[in-house]
Structure 1
Amino acid sequence: MTGSALLSALAIGLGVGIVGRLVLPGPKAAPVWLTLALGVAAALLGSMTIRLFGVDVDHTFPRLLAQVGFAVPAVILGVVTAGRRGTGDATKP
């Protein structure tokens, strides 16, 4: 993976994490660091996945599309699932 792919994954991940935290409605139980980490990790995963499909990472548009495509659902799922509170005991009906 090239340096530009890593930098773009970092920038996309942080941007999606911040925007996702601001845009999603309701109380935010997920800490800020979690949304940022999810965004960056998913953007890196998007870069690796697009590379596995044989797309050269020097092509900026497919790489950015994959990074955003992975980061957005990851941040949404992270914020939504962190906001859910369980009863604490899964065996009770």
Structure 2
Amino acid sequence: MEISGIISAILIGIIIGVLGRLAVPGRQRIGILWTIAVGIVAAFIGSGVAAAFGVADTKGIDWIEWLIQIGLAALGVAALDRSKVRR
């Protein structure tokens, strides 16, 4: 992966994290930096999952890849919020 791909993955990860947080109902007790970190990780993992299923490189916008990434970010935000509540 080139440096431009990594930078774009980070920027997309920020967007993915925010959308994933919006997808989780209720109030989350995690900060914005945790949300961004979860989004970046979800973007990288979601790209790998989409590539494994063969839906990563389509014409136009890769909606299925975005949905996978947002779903993973929502799971990550919910899991992190749940672990913060237990402490």
Question: What TM-score range do you get, normalising by the shorter chain?
Answer: 0.5 to 0.7
Aligned to 2:37: 37
Q: How does 1:2-41 map to 2 (within 5 A)?
A: 2-41=2-41
Match of 1:74 among 49, 68, 72: 72
Query: Is residue 38–residue 71 contact of structure 1 (8 Å, CA) maintained in 2?
Result: no
What RMSD, in angstroms, separates the aligned Cα atoms of the two structures? 3.2
Q: Number of aligned residue pairs: give it.
A: 83
Query: Compared with structure 1, are the counterparts of its residues 45 and 75 closer, same or farther at alpha carbon in structure 2 (3 Å cutoff)?
Result: closer
Query: Is residue 35–residue 79 contact of structure 1 (8 Å, CA) maintained in 2?
Result: yes
Query: Is residue 18–residue 35 contact of structure 1 (8 Å, CA) maintained in 2?
Result: yes
Local SS of the residue matching 1:30: coil
**Structure 2 residue runs without a partner (length 5+):** none
Judging by fraction of residues, say which structure has more helix: 2
**Structure 1 residue runs without a partner (length 5+):** 89-93
Percent of residue pairs bearing the same amino acid type: 32
Q: How does 1:54-93 map to 2 (within 5 A)?
A: 61=61, 65-66=64-65, 68-84=66-82, 85-86=85-86
The CA deviation at 1:48 is 4.8
